[in-house]
Structures are given as C-alpha cells and as structure tokens.
Chain A
Amino acid sequence: MQGKISDPVRRADAIEKLTGKARYISDFEFETLLFARVLRSDRPRARILEISVPELPDGYYYIDARDIPEGGRNNIQMIKDDWPVFAEDEVRYCGETLALIVGPLKEKILEILSEIKVTYDDLEPAFTIEEGLACKGGAIVGDDNIFGRYHLVKGDPASAFKGAARIIEGTYRTGFQEHLYLEPQGMVGTWEEEKCTLYASVQCPFYIRKAVAGALGVPATEVRVKQTITGGAFGGKEHFPDVIAAPLAVAVNKIRKPIQLVFERIEDITYTSKRHPSRITIKTALDGENNIVGMDVDSVVNGGGYESSSLIVLQRAILHGIGVYNIPNVHIRGRAVATNTFPSDAFRGFGAPQGLFAIEVHMSQVARDIGLPPAEFKRKYFIKTGDITITNATMKDEVCLGEMFRKVDELSGYSKKVKAYDHDPLKGIGIAFVNHGGGFTGNGEQSIIKAVVEMERLEDGRAGLYVSTVEMGQGLQTVLRKIAARELGCDYRDIVYDNPDTDKVPDSGPTVASRSTMVVGSLVQQCAKELKGRWAEGVGTRTRKQYRHPEGLEWDQATLQGDAYPSYSWGVNVVEVALDPVTYEIETRHIWSVFDVGVPMDEKIMSGQVSGGVIQALGYAAIEKCEIENGRFRQHTMADYSIPTSMDFPETRNAFIENPYEFGPYGAKGAGEVVFDAAAPAYADAVGHLIGRKICEIPVMPEKVMEALRK
C-alpha cells in the first residue's frame, strides 16, 4: 500500500507561503493597535542614576519596573532567572531594556524616545573572554565572573600526560553568529477573555507563558500564547522572545489594549542574542609511536551580561568536546564567563558547533604534525558501539562512521585529492566528522520536559494533532502529520495540526535540541497507534501519551556522568576550496556530506535541512564576521553582516545512510542541528590544507589568509 516514510510529499504549508497568503505577526490586523518601542541602555556597564522622561501626550505610556503588578517579579523566568524584565539600578550590556514607550503613532514614540535622558555612572566594562576571566573593572557576577564550571574526567589523564613522548597544543576560537532569520523578532500582546494573550513568532510557546506568568505574578494558565507562522528561528526565537514578551506583557496588563512590538532589522541585529563566542585550548598527549594517550580540553564560552542558558550551552560544548573519538584518558574543563556583551543564547547546535570545531580542527592539525592525512588519523580513533564515552557510559548507538567515510570518499574523491593537493598551492580539501546528541542532555526529557502529546478523532475521517512544538521552516508540520497518518492509514492532509495555542495543546516541550521528530514524533506515533485501535469509539475519541525515557539509560546531572543523550546523529562533511592568489579570497568549489539521522522522515525536507544547515555553517566559517566595538556589535545591518547569498557557495551534494533508531518514530533520530556541525571545521581544515598553515579561528577572512601566508 504505502511507500517508504522517506518518500517526499508536498509540504503542508507550501502553497499558502508561496502565494503570499501565509500571515506572519506583522501581517495581522488588530483593532486600536498600539505600538511599543524599547528604551535601551546605551552603556555596556553602568549604574543608572536618573531617567528623565518628558510629559507624555494623552494615549502614550512609559512602562518600566514600577508597572510590574504585585506578586510579579522583575526577573525573566528562563532556564536561569537572572535577566531582569526592566533594568532598575544597573545595566550590564548595551541595549538592555529600561522601559517601553507605548502609543498609537510610531513617529511620536520615536520622538518621545529621543527626548528621554538617562544619566549613568559608567563602570569599566569587560567584553572579551580574556577580559571577563581577568575580571576587568571588577567582577560582574560573583567574585570571579564565572557563571558556572564543569569538569569531565575519563581514565587517568594526569598519568597519560606525565608519560607522554610529545604534547601538541592548539587554541581555537569561534566568534559571535547572528541568526538572521528572515522574519525579525515580533509579537503582539492583547487582553483577551480576561487573560494576557500573546501572538508571537516563536519556537517555544510554553517558555513564553512561564516567563510572562512570572513577570505578572499570575498562574501560568492565566497567560495564553498563540504561535504565529514563524519566519525562521534557528534558536534565536527559543529564549530571546521571553526578553520581549515579559515587558510587553507588563504593558498589556496595564493598558489592556493590543500592543505590537516588532523589531526592525537594525534593531534585531544590534539587540538580540548571538551564538556564544568560544576559546578552546586542546592538548594532546602522544606516546613514542604517535598514538594518542590523553587529551586535555579547556573550553570557555562568552555568556555576556546574564546567564540565561549559558550553562546548558556550555554542557553541550563539553559533552561534544572530543567529538566522535574514543580517547583513553581525558580531562575537560568548561567555564562560562560573564562579560558586558549582549547575553549570548541558543543558536542551532547549542554549544556543540564550538566544541566540535575545536576538536576537529585540532585532530587534523595533530595528524599533519605527525605526517598523516587527517582522515586516516581520525579514523583510527573513531568511537565504536560499546566503547566508553567521555561521560563514562558505553556508546549504545550503532556507529556507522566507517561506512559514512567510505561513502563520502567515493562521492568526493577525498583520499586521492588530499594527497594531490599537498603539492598544489591553489587547492585544498578538508574533512570533519561529528555527532550530535538528540534531545535534552542526560535525562532532561524525562526529568524536566515530560512531553505530552494528544490526538483526537475528528469529523470526516480526520484526526487532530495537539502538540506545542512549532513549524519554523524545518518541516515539522509535514513530518508529524506524515508520522500520524502512516499509523492511522490516512492521508497526511487529513491530520489537523494548527499552530500551537497554549490554551489548546498540551506541553510537548520546546522546539529545540533536535528533539521534535525524535521525541515528540515518537509520542505522535504512539498516540496515533492507540487512536487507530480506538477509532470505532467515534468522533471525539482522544488519546494522550507522555514521554518515557528508554530503559537502560542512566544519568547523574550533578556529576554529568552516564548516558549523555538518548541517541546521536552522525555526520561527515568534505569541503574543497581554491585560493585567489591576488585577493586572498577563498572560493569554495565543492561541498559533500553524508549524514546518519536514523531514517529521514522525508527525503526532500531532510535534504533542505542539510543544504540549509551546511550553508549556514559555511557562513559562520567564512563570512559572518560579528565584532564588538565599545560593547556594541559593529555589524548591524544586512549590508555589513553578510550571510551567504546564492552566489557565495556552490550546490551541496548530500547522501544519507539509513540506521534506524529503536526509540524514534519509524527509526528517526535528531536532524536539525547535526547538519550544522561539520561544515565549519571541514572548511577550516580545507583552508589550512590549502595554505599549509594552521587555521585556528573562524570566520576565516581573506585578511587572515593573507597574514598567515605572509608570516
């Protein structure tokens, strides 16, 4: 009857988006809509002495911490609640929210903003990882500026280093990266049915509900969040929308009218969270035969002014800190440091890309130092099923890295080219292997998220699907429909799956961490299976399933020991580059990939994820420069913060291997992030190979290539 689940179907949302009928947040009409703009700190670190606000015309409002109702808290309830809704006494970064100006005319609001005078007592700021670690200007948090630190130890690294014949060391740096979703941040808050209701372009409706309930001091059920079609997110609409929603809700609570807060692009680039910059130092201990006997990894990420999710990002960075390798003796230290930059937050990969960049580039450099081709050296250390992981559990995944390497080698001719280009001053080729843990770290899916999914038999042979995970471009509305329909034996178009409304759907968790298909999809499959069995009970029959962690997995969150993830997705990228010897520009000639995401739930959607993820990562590696100047992002428009255009990189050539995962729906594993992880280190390896120098930092700009070549 049915073909394979991977067989592509037309996306459920394609036609309305193609015809311009899809409505995004700024396309909605509300009666008597007011507009809000944020009054922001223009100092990176200061005490606020006075805010002088002119007399406001009728119908205009100045909303600040004093408007938080009794019982509400001036802390945004995120993973950590240290980020204030409105700054009161101090500011820790440029752009921090001081107040909202609300009123009917945008021009008038801007005029009012320009008349407000804020007097500060400036303090000495710290911007870089080094300045943060040195507590420049005095500690911003605690007495050492460290939000949190972790240690992972496997085997006996101290003895391994003591007995080493040779130690090779490198320090690797990655920069800020802006999400640059095409639709800027935006939401509309209204007072509907005696509730603060938010229409929002977001990944995690229940995160916003929690943040707003905390600020207003009401039970979570007194807040309603309706997700609107979301024009890209990539992690940028994971926690950061809470920072907009909380002050907006305070304004709505006071004014009781619809208020729109939509960012313009410059505001969005200048005043939203970015990917955490990282500095990772790796030392590798070799014995007399050049075998790796130990590794020491020191990871630091720049968390910015408030902690938010930085420790969880850091966990992922260190849990992926030795990549796909089985190294006998390892010590990893991780620290998240406070600085006076805009707080860093979630971005596709969530720390893993930083950790994987460092280890992959380092492994290639160690290989070259000892005179071996990188892939040959790396393959010797591939982790295998049953090997001991960095968190001292056994690797339970079916690891297919060998097969994946053979496949990418066949597609790209890597092994031949890497030798041939050794003697070609204008060509280089690089390779990187990665894995990415699907779902929340450790037993987070069981202990924190506790996802619930419901389904219902509707009229006319259709079925309703109730989840809180959202479509943000990744194809979830099609994939979850396909999973449900296959189980029910109906057409995927007969599954009704509206954008989540927190009053109507159970909390199946946030749309993050490569969990939606693997974890939520599995619950969808279970719900659909039961619904099919009970179909005869008639219209209105409802099924409900809650997440249960696969048996046999152990985790201790306090020590970060045990099975770090329910499963891993795996990937390999090969990138081939050429040098323009006049301009020092690097041209990417070819890109190949092979991924193991279990079983792709739709080949076309998955292929879109791969192309999109790989190109986004090549932007990160090659062109997306984002610098801090006096506490502000120097690049703040689409003209100076460049993301890849259709002309910057060639087509990607991709393949999958099927490796069904027992606990995923139809064998699926996580897919949304692993596709980002390998391209940046593969690119850096390729440029390093090309110029015969070590590339330890991204983005690799032409001026860096020139400097390296002239040394």
Chain B
Amino acid sequence: MKKLDFILNGEQVTLAADPLKRLLDVLREDFNLTGIKEGCGEGECGACLVLLDGNLVNSCLIPVGVVEGHDVVTPEGLVETERGKCIVEAFADAGAVQCGFCTPGMVMAAASLLETSCNPTQEEIRKAISGNLCRCTGYDLIVEGIKEAMKRGKEVW
C-alpha cells in the first residue's frame, strides 16, 4: 500500500492503495465513480477513458501509482463543466446514445478532440473516436453529436 495524492475532478484527493491497482478499479471501487466502464480490460474499447493531465488514457491500462501528483478527470467531472454540458446536450439531441455503455467514453473522446480542434472535419471526428468501440450505433449519430457540439460550443472552446 502506498499513500497517493492526485487531483480528481478538480479536487485534491489522498488515497492509500497498491500502486499497481488499475486506475479503473480505484476510480470505480474507492471513489465510486462508475461512469467509466470495463468493456475489455485491455485498452481496446475505450469505455474506461479518462483525461490524465488533459490526455485521453484508458484507465484499465494505468497503474494508479502513475497518477501521483497528476490531474485526473472522469466523465462525472467533465459533465459538470461548460464543455461537458455542451457535449451532453448535443449528444442527447443528435440521438447519439443507445445502450449507453460506451457513451461516457465517447463523451471523453469528443471533449478531447474539441479541446485540440474546434472545427474538425468528418474524417478527424471519425479518427478521434476510433479508439472507442460502439456496437449499437454504427457511429453515424455519434459523429452527428460531435458536429452538433462543435456548432453549439463556439463560445466554450
């Protein structure tokens, strides 16, 4: 067990944990942040995406020891921000949600894309969510959701 300090959704947190425990399990079990999901446990599906210092990472591949002193944002944190709210509203109106299991990860990927490029092309949007598997939508309406967020979010990005 090791004492770890990091910033979680904007707040300083301290935790005693095995540094090799997966960040996914720490967030879900120790902080009850269950917005991220375990879809595969090997970094293929993107359902467990979080932002680590602003970069998208699969939390199933990150030992929690790595986040010591760093900044972690989960879907619960993101959707409280203006940008997060914009994506949530845009996805809801675009019909981008079906079973919902991949959805929080998609929201994280969308936020990360719009963070770096506020006017992405269709191709760039598809590339940005290519690490997120979805079995329900065929991706078309998720792409629409991101375009909608891009349109509505002129001021927030």
Binds B, one of A115-123, A124-132, A228-236: A228-236
> Contact between A18 and B88 (Cβ–Cβ < 8 Å)?
yes
For residue B22, CB closer than 8 A to chain A, the reply is no
Picked from B41, B92, B99, the residue with its CB within 8 Å of the CB of A232 is B99
For residue A589, CB closer than 8 A to chain B, the reply is no
Which residues 619-659 of A sit at the B interface, judged by CB distance below 8 A? 637-639, 643-647, 649, 651-652
> Contact between B99 and A265 (Cβ–Cβ < 8 Å)?
no
For residue B56, CB closer than 8 A to chain A, the reply is no
For residue B51, CB closer than 8 A to chain A, the reply is no
Contacts A18-B104, A230-B99, A651-B143: A611 and B137 contacting too (C-beta < 8 A)? Answer: yes
> Contact between A183 and B37 (Cβ–Cβ < 8 Å)?
yes
Give Cα A413 to B39, complex, Å. Answer: 40
Give Cα A229 to B37, complex, Å. Answer: 13
B64 to chain A, nearest CB (A): 17
Which residues 488-515 of A sit at the B interface, judged by CB distance below 8 A? none
Give Cα A181 to B103, complex, Å. Answer: 13
Cβ contacts under 8 Å, A183 to chain B: 37, 39, 99, 101
Cβ contacts under 8 Å, B42 to chain A: 265, 637-639
Give Cα A584 to B13, complex, Å. Answer: 53
B70 to chain A, nearest CB (A): 21
For residue B6, CB closer than 8 A to chain A, the reply is no
Picked from B33, B91, B130, the residue with its CB within 8 Å of the CB of A14 is B91
B105 to chain A, nearest CB (A): 9
Binds B, one of A156-164, A284-292, A470-478: A470-478
> Contact between B139 and A605 (Cβ–Cβ < 8 Å)?
no
> Contact between A611 and B141 (Cβ–Cβ < 8 Å)?
yes
Cβ contacts under 8 Å, B122 to chain A: 651
**Per-residue interface assignment for chain B, residues 94 to 130, with 1 indicating a CB less than 8 Å from any chain A CB and 0 otherwise:** 1101111111100100000000000000100011011
For residue A13, CB closer than 8 A to chain B, the reply is yes
Cβ contacts under 8 Å, A639 to chain B: 42, 44
For residue A419, CB closer than 8 A to chain B, the reply is no
Picked from A8, A180, A230, A645, the residue with its CB within 8 Å of the CB of B95 is A8
Residue of B whose beta carbon sits closest to that of A26: B38
Cβ contacts under 8 Å, A441 to chain B: none
> Contact between B135 and A181 (Cβ–Cβ < 8 Å)?
yes
> Contact between B138 and A612 (Cβ–Cβ < 8 Å)?
yes
For residue B74, CB closer than 8 A to chain A, the reply is yes
Give Cα A473 to B139, complex, Å. Answer: 14
Which residues 8-33 of A sit at the B interface, judged by CB distance below 8 A? 8, 10-11, 13-24, 26-27, 29
Residue of A whose beta carbon sits closest to that of B141: A608
Picked from B74, B97, B102, B135, the residue with its CB within 8 Å of the CB of A11 is B97
> Contact between B39 and A182 (Cβ–Cβ < 8 Å)?
yes
Give Cα A232 to B92, complex, Å. Answer: 18
Give Cα A265 to B44, complex, Å. Answer: 11
The CB with the most chain B CB atoms within 10 A, among A18, A21, A604, A607, is that of A18
Cβ contacts under 8 Å, B75 to chain A: 19-20
**Chain A interface main SS type:** loop
Picked from A8, A18, A643, the residue with its CB within 8 Å of the CB of B103 is A18
> Contact between A13 and B100 (Cβ–Cβ < 8 Å)?
yes
Which residues 251-281 of A sit at the B interface, judged by CB distance below 8 A? 264-266
> Contact between B39 and A637 (Cβ–Cβ < 8 Å)?
no
- Contact count A vs B, C-beta below 8 Å: 174
Contacts A17-B100, A18-B103: A647 and B130 contacting too (C-beta < 8 A)? Answer: yes
The CB with the most chain A CB atoms within 10 A, among B32, B95, B126, B143, is that of B95
Cβ contacts under 8 Å, A231 to chain B: 37, 99-101
Give Cα A608 to B94, complex, Å. Answer: 10
B42 to chain A, nearest CB (A): 6
> Contact between B98 and A20 (Cβ–Cβ < 8 Å)?
no
For residue A439, CB closer than 8 A to chain B, the reply is no
Give Cα A221 to B78, complex, Å. Answer: 44
**Per-residue interface assignment for chain A, residues 20 to 54, with 1 indicating a CB less than 8 Å from any chain B CB and 0 otherwise:** 11111011010000000000000000000000000
For residue A705, CB closer than 8 A to chain B, the reply is no
Cβ contacts under 8 Å, B100 to chain A: 13, 16-18, 22, 229, 231, 473
For residue A598, CB closer than 8 A to chain B, the reply is no
For residue B134, CB closer than 8 A to chain A, the reply is yes
**Per-residue interface assignment for chain A, residues 574 to 594, with 1 indicating a CB less than 8 Å from any chain B CB and 0 otherwise:** 000000000000000000000
Cβ contacts under 8 Å, B79 to chain A: 18-20
Give Cα A604 to B141, complex, Å. Answer: 9
Contacts A20-B75, A24-B101: A645 and B92 contacting too (C-beta < 8 A)? Answer: no
> Contact between A232 and B136 (Cβ–Cβ < 8 Å)?
yes
Which residues 40-81 of B sit at the A interface, judged by CB distance below 8 A? 40-42, 44-45, 47, 74-76, 79
Cβ contacts under 8 Å, A215 to chain B: none
> Contact between B138 and A17 (Cβ–Cβ < 8 Å)?
no
Give Cα A649 to B136, complex, Å. Answer: 14
Picked from A17, A472, A646, the residue with its CB within 8 Å of the CB of B126 is A646
Give Cα A8 to B97, complex, Å. Answer: 13
Contacts A19-B75, A20-B76, A643-B133: A652 and B138 contacting too (C-beta < 8 A)? Answer: yes
For residue B140, CB closer than 8 A to chain A, the reply is yes
> Contact between B41 and A611 (Cβ–Cβ < 8 Å)?
no
For residue A684, CB closer than 8 A to chain B, the reply is no
Give Cα A182 to B132, complex, Å. Answer: 10
> Contact between B138 and A638 (Cβ–Cβ < 8 Å)?
no
For residue B93, CB closer than 8 A to chain A, the reply is yes
> Contact between A18 and B127 (Cβ–Cβ < 8 Å)?
no
For residue B150, CB closer than 8 A to chain A, the reply is no
Cβ contacts under 8 Å, B92 to chain A: 10-11, 14-15, 18
> Contact between A24 and B141 (Cβ–Cβ < 8 Å)?
no
> Contact between B44 and A18 (Cβ–Cβ < 8 Å)?
no
For residue A349, CB closer than 8 A to chain B, the reply is no
Cβ contacts under 8 Å, A15 to chain B: 88, 92
> Contact between B95 and A607 (Cβ–Cβ < 8 Å)?
yes
Cβ contacts under 8 Å, A23 to chain B: 34
Cβ contacts under 8 Å, B95 to chain A: 8, 11, 604-605, 607-608
B106 to chain A, nearest CB (A): 9
Contacts A19-B76, A232-B101, A615-B138: A265 and B34 contacting too (C-beta < 8 A)? Answer: no
For residue A614, CB closer than 8 A to chain B, the reply is yes
Contacts A20-B34, A604-B141, A608-B95: A638 and B44 contacting too (C-beta < 8 A)? Answer: yes
Residue of B whose beta carbon sits closest to that of A619: B135
Cβ contacts under 8 Å, B40 to chain A: 265, 637-638
Residue of B whose beta carbon sits closest to that of A262: B38
Residue of B whose beta carbon sits closest to that of A28: B34
For residue B36, CB closer than 8 A to chain A, the reply is yes
Give Cα A472 to B76, complex, Å. Answer: 22
A254 to chain B, nearest CB (A): 27
The CB with the most chain B CB atoms within 10 A, among A23, A179, A231, A616, is that of A231
> Contact between A616 and B135 (Cβ–Cβ < 8 Å)?
yes
> Contact between A651 and B140 (Cβ–Cβ < 8 Å)?
yes
> Contact between A613 and B34 (Cβ–Cβ < 8 Å)?
no
Please name 5 further chain A to chain B contacts, defined as beta carbons within 8 Å, in addition to the given A19-B104, A182-B102, sorted by A numbering.
A27-B34, A182-B47, A233-B99, A604-B94, A608-B136
Q: Which residues of B contact A (CB under 8 A)?
A: 28, 32-42, 44-45, 47, 74-76, 79, 87-88, 91-95, 97-104, 107, 122, 126-127, 129-143
Q: Which residues of A contact B (CB under 8 A)?
A: 8, 10-11, 13-24, 26-27, 29, 179-184, 229-234, 264-266, 472-475, 604-605, 607-608, 610-616, 637-639, 643-647, 649, 651-652
Q: Could you list 12 examples of A-B contacts with CB < 8 Å? A: A8-B95, A17-B97, A17-B103, A18-B107, A29-B32, A183-B39, A229-B100, A473-B98, A638-B45, A643-B133, A643-B135, A649-B138
- Kindly list the 6 A-B residue pairs having the minimum CB-CB distance in the complex, ordered from nearest: A20-B35, A473-B99, A17-B100, A231-B101, A615-B138, A611-B138
